Amino acid sequence: MKTIFVAGATGVIGRRLLPLLRDSGAIVYGTTRRADRAASIEAMGARAVIVDAFDASALTRAVVAARPDVVIHQLTDLPAALDPALMADAVARNARIRDQGTRHLVAAARAAGAMRIVAQSIAWMYAPGTEPHGEDDPLDLAAEGSRGVSVRGVASLESQVLGAAPIEGVVLRYGHLYGPGTGSDTTSSSAPLHVDAAARAALLAIDHGAPGIYNIVERDDVASAAKARRALGWKPAPA
């Protein structure tokens, strides 16, 4: 029986992931910054941990106390239902949590002796080039404005997770989410991804696949998910 520590348990993916982890038989810990969300974490079958990822000492104490085999990084700082009207202001906050929050979480996972980190990234930050993009294609580090802020946050998160040795680092580059909690039941975006399929990819990455990066998208148009289908046994259907 594995112990899993989910950082960002009340986010869009975290809420769909906790029941899957519970049903797998794992011992699950889930974090939130807000005490009023603890009950919802418990209701989804996890042990609630109230901690701010920007408080490095508190986060380390929490992860060490849980002694997880695997840490799942679902930390974001995004508006409820991914409200488009609020997303612009969230870009800098989200980039900060990808940088500083990841740094603190990786250090905490090392201190706790975790074996693997599975982290949420995004699949639409590739530099312009031939599509569909594979995982070895470069990120758009020359981007400016809000996209540049996001790309740099993503690059920081990924480099920290992949460089977390001796912990195995797995990065899941998710497509544009739709489904429960996202504010939309359908999507016309490129690289779409149902939130339940995203959660299932995180579940599979606990035990499957070598360390590295995996595109998690429904259609191989902007990015290809062939590697995830092959190595993780992932399928894009939401159920």
Report yes or no on 236 lying in a domain: no
Q: Supply the CATH number for residue 34's domain.
A: 3.40.50.720
**Does the residue 81 lie in any domain?**
yes
Tens-binned pLDDT, residue by residue, of the chain (239 aa): 899 999 999 999 999 999 999 999 999 999 999 999 999 999 999 999 999 999 999 999 999 999 999 999 999 987 665 566 667 778 889 999 999 999 999 999 999 999 999 999 999 999 999 999 999 999 999 999 999 999 999 999 999 999 999 999 999 999 999 999 888 887 767 899 999 999 999 999 999 999 999 999 999 999 999 999 999 999 997 65
The string of DSSP letters for the chain reads --EEEEETTTSHHHHHHHHHHHHTT-EEEEEES-GGGHHHHHHTTSEEEE--TT-HHHHHHHHHHH--SEEEE------GGG-HHHHHHHHHHHHHIIIIIHHHHHHHHHHHT-SEEEEEEESS-BPS-SSSBPTTSPB-TT--HHHHHHHHHHHHHHHHHHT-TTSEEEEEEE-EEEBTTTTBSS--SSSEEEHHHHHHHHHHHTTSS-SEEEEE-SSTTTB--HHHHHHT---S---
Q: Which residues constitute the domain of residue 93?
A: 3-231
Residue 183 lies in a domain: yes
In a domain, 49, yes or no: yes
Angle subtended at Cα 10 by Cα 135 and Cα 178, rounded to the nearest 5 degrees = 55
Does the pTM surpass 0.85? The reply is yes
Q: Is residue 156 part of a domain?
A: yes
How many domains is the chain built from?
1
Distances in Å between the Cα of 207 and the Cα atoms of 25, 41, 118, 146, 211 are: 13, 23, 10, 35, 11
Please tell me the predicted confidence (pLDDT) of residue 186. Answer: 79
Look at residues 19, 9, 193 and name the one whose alpha carbon lies nearest to residue 105: 9
Answer yes or no: is 21 within a domain: yes
Residue 195 lies in a domain: yes
Q: CA 40, CA 50: separation in Å to the nearest integer?
A: 12
Residue 96 included in any domain: yes
